[in-house]
């Protein structure tokens, strides 16, 4: 051979050799780079942090709701996944999973041959390891560059994680259709059970879905999914994972799916209230994707009592709506909430978002302010209509339907019968600005203007039932304010507490003031406007009725429970002057709903014994107008020096006649 030609050949060979060396060096350098960037799935928990479903629990541990974004997923450990599920997925998706090193060249060659014969892509050669790489690191773009990088990363990942961890990761990541990501979510979605309890037949069916979640969806095509299940079982038999007898038994099982998993509407207004609080505290991404475990304070039996009471008396078409909030005033825990008639049609939460005029239900804040300034329950005030100069003109105050037109009465009697003129004089005495401070300290979070009209509930923006329940809870707790919350604690997947609302206790009003206020509000229930709320144990509360009967309230407490009830039309200021034949006042439907609910709630909580012979199921009945002596609080006689006219239910109006004077 010509020496010069030989030299050229050797030169070319040397160039090729150098090129191959550089190529291998480049590949080696890239592999080394990948090895430094890939985390250890068995050690580095941040490597595997997919979107995971958050679960909300009631106080008894029952599930109230599940929150997730696009991916409904619950991550479970390898030992919680049954062997039948692991074997089924390996058999149908990557039969040489335990022997290859990340890339299965045999599977790739077979796929290339089949795809060439069919003229289209019918098979893939990706291993489970490659699928993990794609799901965790490289995304889903179908390019040659991505495929090469995916293969190289799969090799490296096999050096970073053992087969068990890789399979666990895959089974928690992969999509099973119907919005279910991961085997735990799929087991619940299709069979209503945890993955740990999957049978061989169910495992094979789920494994068969992975290749085409739409085509093999058992929800949409039970026939195709059953055929696919049988293909998986046959493959498991071929590979020695199951015996012929096991294969035949599993093949003969008829596929039975769990009922459609529509979310149960358990306390939907409460769940939404908790969700919004958590979004404000933690952000929506963590709430919907963080796999949180949210422990709430809601009591399911108390919630059922609330829903029953709210719908029992006002269920007809066109009736006013009811909002109800019950909390444990010793902790601030919200244990029941009704935010409207139907969450599906109206998600506006009247219990939390609704802010309406409280009427005379606001008077206890004036009362507490007055008592803290030295005013006594026995102090006497004029009850005649009142006019006074205020910053924006003359404030003219009339009593309810002009029930009292002259005379004087004690503050105790004026509270009992909610006499406007007395409380107008009282707020001018103690100062509207001081009342605003007292209300805010006790738990009213809505900003208030120091306008004297607030004495009668004339607020600029109104207040919510949640605020009212919380503020009255301050009185019930002896003057200690505890901020309300439906959340007890929030933990992550590792069981670590990542959020809990502050459980601070603040002295809002003097204990003696709180106790005196409580005693006076107890009289309201026993002998005043709130008699329809009377229950079989000690209780206290206050009625509230706004102008033209547009809003009606009863807020009260007994034992550890404090409950606010509002009745009105959520669409606007609609007068309730003829609801089943009566004018709606705080002492009518709100008080009756409160009584009906609290009697049951206190029994459920073990506070009182079940009542006997109560009238909680009696219809509202008719109202009659009576004249009461403001000194004795009995039916007035002709010699009584000062009286008040009130509307009472006919049964409540059967009182003794005053014998004094």
Is the separation of the CB atoms in 372 and 509 below 8 Å? yes
What is the pLDDT confidence band of residue 620, given thresholds at 50, 70 and 90?
A: very low
Q: What is the pLDDT of residue 78?
A: 92
Instruction: Write the pLDDT tens digit of every residue in 553-608.
Output: 999 999 999 999 999 999 888 999 999 999 999 999 999 999 999 999 998 887 76
E strand or H helix that includes residue 11: helix 3-37
Helix/strand/coil for 402? helix
What is the full DSSP assignment across 154-181?
Answer: HHHHHHHS-HHHHHHHHHHHSB-STTEE
Q: What is the pLDDT of residue 105?
A: 58
**In angstroms, rounded to a whole number, what is the distance separating the alpha carbons of residues 50 and 203?**
23
What is the pLDDT confidence band of residue 293, given thresholds at 50, 70 and 90?
A: very high
Classify strands 551-558 and 540-545 as parallel, antiparallel or unpaired. antiparallel
Residues 6+ apart with CB under 8 A from 504: 482, 483
Q: Is the pLDDT of residue 20 over 80?
A: no
Within a 13 Å sphere around the CA of 612, how many CA atoms are in the beta-carbon half? 1
Which residues is 56 bridged to in the sheet? 65, 294
Least confident of 34-38, 309-313, 481-485, 562-566: 34-38
Instruction: Write the pLDDT tens digit of every residue in 100-151.
Output: 866 665 655 554 444 444 444 444 558 888 888 877 765 555 555 556 666 7
Average pLDDT over residues 270-282: 92
CATH superfamily of 71-252: Biosynthetic peptidoglycan transglycosylase-like (1.10.3810.10)
From the number of C-beta atoms within 10 Å of its C-beta (0-12, 13-18, 19+), residue 196 rates as middle
**In angstroms, rounded to a whole number, what is the distance separating the alpha carbons of residues 465 and 458?**
16
Classify strands 293-296 and 487-491 as parallel, antiparallel or unpaired. antiparallel
Which residues is 657 bridged to in the sheet? 635
**In angstroms, rounded to a whole number, what is the distance separating the alpha carbons of residues 397 and 391?**
15
Helix/strand/coil for 116? helix
Domain ranges of the chain: 71-252, 303-618, 622-661
For residues 460 and 559, which has the higher predicted lDDT (pLDDT)?
A: 559
Q: What is the pLDDT of residue 220?
A: 85
**In angstroms, rounded to a whole number, what is the distance separating the alpha carbons of residues 547 and 497?**
48
Is pTM, for the whole model, over 0.85?
A: no
Q: Is the pLDDT of residue 540 over 70?
A: yes
User: For residue 480, how many other CB atoms are within 10 A of its CB?
Assistant: 18
Residue (of 105, 94, 81) closest to 129 by Cα position: 94
Q: What is the pLDDT of residue 22?
A: 67
What is the full DSSP assignment across 61-109?
Answer: S-EEEEE-SS-EE----GGGS-HHHHHHHHHHH-TTTTTSSS--HHHHH
**In angstroms, rounded to a whole number, what is the distance separating the alpha carbons of residues 482 and 508?**
10
What is the pLDDT confidence band of residue 207, given thresholds at 50, 70 and 90?
A: very high
Is the separation of the CB atoms in 544 and 552 below 8 Å? yes
Q: What is the pLDDT of residue 268?
A: 93
Average pLDDT over residues 428-449: 96
From the number of C-beta atoms within 10 Å of its C-beta (0-12, 13-18, 19+), residue 138 rates as middle
Q: Is the pLDDT of residue 183 over 60?
A: yes
For residues 332 and 607, which has the higher predicted lDDT (pLDDT)?
A: 332
CA 149 vs CA 111, 131, 135, 143, 163: distances in Å: 19, 12, 13, 10, 20
What is the pLDDT confidence band of residue 179, given thresholds at 50, 70 and 90?
A: confident
Residue (of 332, 324, 327, 376) closest to 350 by Cα position: 324
Average pLDDT over residues 51-70: 87
Is the separation of the CB atoms in 232 and 87 below 8 Å? no
**In angstroms, rounded to a whole number, what is the distance separating the alpha carbons of residues 354 and 97?**
59
**In angstroms, rounded to a whole number, what is the distance separating the alpha carbons of residues 379 and 381?**
7
Tokens of 3: 């020496």
Residues 6+ apart with CB under 8 A from 113: none
**In angstroms, rounded to a whole number, what is the distance separating the alpha carbons of residues 251 and 412?**
80
Residue recorded with tokens 């929506």: 284
Q: What is the pLDDT of residue 602?
A: 93
Residue recorded with tokens 């009591």: 299
Q: Is the pLDDT of residue 525 over 60?
A: yes
Is the separation of the CB atoms in 347 and 608 below 8 Å? no
Q: What is the pLDDT of residue 100?
A: 82
Strand 321-328: give its sheet, edge to edge.
Answer: 333-338, 321-328, 561-568, 551-558, 540-545
**In angstroms, rounded to a whole number, what is the distance separating the alpha carbons of residues 474 and 518?**
10
Q: What is the pLDDT of residue 479?
A: 97
**Average pLDDT, whole number, for the chain?**
84
For residues 28 and 443, which has the higher predicted lDDT (pLDDT)?
A: 443
Helices (H), 354-410: 363-372
Q: Compute and round to an integer the Cα radius of gyration of the chain.
A: 36
For residues 642 and 75, which has the higher predicted lDDT (pLDDT)?
A: 75
What is the full DSSP assignment across 117-162?
Answer: HHTS-------HHHHHHIIIII-S---HHHHHHHHHHHHHHHHHS-
**In angstroms, rounded to a whole number, what is the distance separating the alpha carbons of residues 156 and 134?**
13
Q: What is the pLDDT of residue 67?
A: 87
Q: What is the pLDDT of residue 30?
A: 61
Instruction: Write the pLDDT tens digit of every residue in 43-55.
Output: 444 455 677 889 9
CA 464 vs CA 7, 179, 307, 362: distances in Å: 95, 37, 18, 12
Which architecture characterizes domain 303-618 according to CATH? Answer: 3-Layer(aba) Sandwich (3.40)
Q: What is the pLDDT of residue 618?
A: 36
Average pLDDT over residues 425-441: 96
What is the pLDDT confidence band of residue 615, given thresholds at 50, 70 and 90?
A: very low
Q: What is the pLDDT of residue 148?
A: 63
Instruction: Write the pLDDT tens digit of every residue in 351-384.
Output: 999 999 999 999 999 999 999 999 999 999 998 9
Q: What is the pLDDT of residue 43?
A: 43
From the number of C-beta atoms within 10 Å of its C-beta (0-12, 13-18, 19+), residue 23 rates as exposed
């Amino acid at each position: 051979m010509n020496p010069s030609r030989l030299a050229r050949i050797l030169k070319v060979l040397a160039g090729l050799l150098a090129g191959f060396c550089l190529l291998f060096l480049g590949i080696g350098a890239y592999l080394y780079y990948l090895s430094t960037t890939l985390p250890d799935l068995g050690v580095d928990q941040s490597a595997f942090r997919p979107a995971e479903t958050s679960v909300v629990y009631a106080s008894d541990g029952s599930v109230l709701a599940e929150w997730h974004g696009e991916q409904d997923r619950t991550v479970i450990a390898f030992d919680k996944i049954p062997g039948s599920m692991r074997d089924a997925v390996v058999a149908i998706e990557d039969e040489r999973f335990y022997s290859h090193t990340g890339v299965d060249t045999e599977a790739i060659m077979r796929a290339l041959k089949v795809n060439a014969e069919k003229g289209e892509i019918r098979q893939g050669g990706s291993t489970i390891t490659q699928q993990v790489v794609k799901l965790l690191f490289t995304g889903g773009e179908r390019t040659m560059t991505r495929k090469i990088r995916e293969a190289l990363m799969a090799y490296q990942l096999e050096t970073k994680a053992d087969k068990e961890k890789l399979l666990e990761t895959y089974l928690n990541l992969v999509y099973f259709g119907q919005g279910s990501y991961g085997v735990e979510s799929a087991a619940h979605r299709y069979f209503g059970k945890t993955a740990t309890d999957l049978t061989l037949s169910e495992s094979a069916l789920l494994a068969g879905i992975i290749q085409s979640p739409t085509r093999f969806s058992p929800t949409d095509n039970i026939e195709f999914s059953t055929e696919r299940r049988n293909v998986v079982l046959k493959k498991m038999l071929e590979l020695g994972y199951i015996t012929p007898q096991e294969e035949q038994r599993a093949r003969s099982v008829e596929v039975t799916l769990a009922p459609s998993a529509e979310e149960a509407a358990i306390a939907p207004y409460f769940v939404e209230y908790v969700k919004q609080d958590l979004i404000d505290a933690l952000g929506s991404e963590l709430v919907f994707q963080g796999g949180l475990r949210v422990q709430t304070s809601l009591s399911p039996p108390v919630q059922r009592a609330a829903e029953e009471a709210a719908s029992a008396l006002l269920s007809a078409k066109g009736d006013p709506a009811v909002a109800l909030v019950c909390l444990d005033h010793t902790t601030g825990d919200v244990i029941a909430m009704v935010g409207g008639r139907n969450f599906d049609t109206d998600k506006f939460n009247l219990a939390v978002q609704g802010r309406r005029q409280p009427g005379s239900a606001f008077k206890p804040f004036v009362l507490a302010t007055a008592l803290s300034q030295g005013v006594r329950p026995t102090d006497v005030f004029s009850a005649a209509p009142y006019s006074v100069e205020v910053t924006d003109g003359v404030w003219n105050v009339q009593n309810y339907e002009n029930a009292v037109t002259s005379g004087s009465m004690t503050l105790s009697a004026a509270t009992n019968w909610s006499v406007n003129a007395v409380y107008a004089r009282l707020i001018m005495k103690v100062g509207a600005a001081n009342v605003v401070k007292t209300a805010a300290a006790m738990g009213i979070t809505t900003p208030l203007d120091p306008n004297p009209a607030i004495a009668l509930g004339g607020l600029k923006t109104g207040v919510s039932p949640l605020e009212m329940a919380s503020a009255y809870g301050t009185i019930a707790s002896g003057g200690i304010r505890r901020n309300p919350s439906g959340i007890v604690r929030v933990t992550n997947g590792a069981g670590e507490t990542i959020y809990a609302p502050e459980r601070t206790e603040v002295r809002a009003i003097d204990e003696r003031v709180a106790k005196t206020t409580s005693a006076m509000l107890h009289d309201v229930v026993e002998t005043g406007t709130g008699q329809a709320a009377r229950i079989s144990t000690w209780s206290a509360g206050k009625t509230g009725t706004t102008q033209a009967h547009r809003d009606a309230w009863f807020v009260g407490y007994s034992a550890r429970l404090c409950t606010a009830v509002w009745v009105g039309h959520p669409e606007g200021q609609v007068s309730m002057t003829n609801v089943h034949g009566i004018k709606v006042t705080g002492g009518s439907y709100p008080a009756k709903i409160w009584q009906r609910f609290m009697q049951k709630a206190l029994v459920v909580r073990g506070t009182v014994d079940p009542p006997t012979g109560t009238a909680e199921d009696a219809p509202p009945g008719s109202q009659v107008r009576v004249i009461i002596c403001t000194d004795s609080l009995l039916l007035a006689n002709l010699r009584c020096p000062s009286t008040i006219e009130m509307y009472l239910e006919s049964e409540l109006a059967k009182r003794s006649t005053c014998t004094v004077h």
